[in-house]
């Protein structure tokens, strides 16, 4: 019953935010860097954030989530508030990075850091190294999710996929909470989007997946690679694109349209087709994780799959 209620809250909040944004002219205008062609309200991620924290609090007070994990996720309120103001006032990249760093440190504090990084033939348990890795992973997951948020239903469907995957693999209630929180928004963002998520939603989702990754890695070190594999579609595209832009001598802080999903839309694919293509890739990746017991093998095979998918995009629309 609680999940139905949370879905309704997310659904209705998104509807009212959409109407309010239209009334107050909080509209994402079409620019040469945009993937959309019609001015559209933004800030729908507020509904995701509010619903998520309501559901998270319910789990805490009903003793369905560990305290340290709850507090680490609760730190996401800070990133949501910062991103809310960033959506309105466009905060400087330096200020955003400083605030994200504080959030990452607080999240790691409540999780007691990252214990071990397993690399198959050996483990790294040197806390300075593991926590530096975890710190930068949180910041990268926050930002790459924000970078990837550009077409209808793309980020929303990714996090519904991750939530369902987590629910199947680990069975914990917070995955169901996140799924319904995103689904209520996704109804309004799917296919012909009536509202966009905005930074307030995408940065929180990126933070959540980073905290999920670290929390489950502390339970079983191989889970680090389970989550990195499941999140592969996003970090692979964002990382390879960033490296290629750097090699091209581009200013990395400048907006662009060179991510794989953006180039697919430029090649003539609809947002709907690109999003469905990503869902198909995610299902294949989940199958690798679920049916192959050795995570090193499933991780490697997923990299091969993502590499050839990226090459497919290059053939459809060259990286220039």
Quote the DSSP letter at residue 193: -
Is residue 25 predicted with pLDDT exceeding 70?
no
Question: Cα separations (Å) of 225 from 20, 44, 308?
Answer: 41, 31, 20
Closest residue by Cα to residue 107 from 206, 202, 229: 206
Quote the DSSP letter at residue 221: T
Mean pLDDT of 183-212: 93
Q: What is the pLDDT of residues 201-241, one digit of tens each?
A: 999 999 999 999 999 999 999 999 999 999 999 999 999 99
Question: Domain-by-domain residue ranges, the chain?
Answer: 2-226
Q: What is the pLDDT of residues 233-281, one digit of tens each?
A: 999 999 999 999 999 888 887 778 899 999 999 999 999 999 999 999 9
How sure is the predictor about 37, in pLDDT bands with cuts at 50, 70 and 90?
low
Instruction: State whether the Cα torsion 38-182-157-113 is positive or negative.
Output: positive
The answer to whether 177 touches 294, Cβ cutoff 8 Å, is no
How sure is the predictor about 30, in pLDDT bands with cuts at 50, 70 and 90?
low
């Amino acid at each position: 019953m609680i999940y139905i209620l949370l879905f309704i809250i997310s659904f209705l909040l998104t509807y009212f935010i959409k109407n309010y944004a239209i009334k107050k002219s909080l509209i994402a205008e079409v620019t040469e860097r945009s993937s959309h062609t019609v001015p559209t309200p933004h800030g729908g991620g507020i509904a995701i954030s509010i619903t998520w924290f309501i559901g998270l609090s319910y789990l805490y007070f009903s003793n369905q989530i560990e305290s340290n994990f709850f507090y680490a996720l609760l730190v996401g309120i800070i990133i949501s508030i910062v991103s809310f103001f960033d959506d309105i006032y466009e905060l400087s990249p330096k200020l955003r990075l400083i605030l994200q760093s504080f959030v990452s440190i607080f999240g790691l504090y409540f999780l007691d850091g990252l214990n071990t990084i397993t690399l198959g033939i050996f483990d790294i348990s040197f806390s300075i190294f593991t926590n530096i890795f975890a710190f930068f992973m949180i910041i990268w997951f926050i930002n790459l999710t924000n970078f990837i948020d550009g077409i209808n239903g793309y980020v929303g469907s990714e996090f519904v996929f991750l939530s369902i995957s987590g629910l199947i693999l680990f069975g914990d209630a917070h995955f169901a909470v996140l799924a319904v929180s995103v689904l209520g928004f996704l109804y309004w963002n799917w296919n012909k989007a009536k509202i966009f998520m905005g930074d307030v939603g995408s940065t929180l989702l990126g933070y959540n997946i980073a905290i999920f990754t670290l929390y489950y890695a502390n339970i079983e070190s191989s889970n680090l690679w389970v989550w990195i594999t499941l999140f592969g579609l996003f970090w692979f595209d964002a990382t390879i694109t960033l490296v290629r832009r750097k090699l091209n001598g581009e200013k990395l802080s400048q907006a662009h349209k060179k991510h794989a999903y953006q180039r697919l839309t430029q090649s003539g694919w609809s947002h709907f087709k690109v999003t469905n293509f990503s869902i198909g890739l995610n299902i294949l990746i989940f199958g690798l994780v679920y049916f192959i017991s050795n995570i090193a093998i499933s991780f490697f095979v997923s990299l091969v799959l993502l590499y050839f998918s990226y090459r497919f995009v290059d053939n459809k629309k060259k990286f220039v």
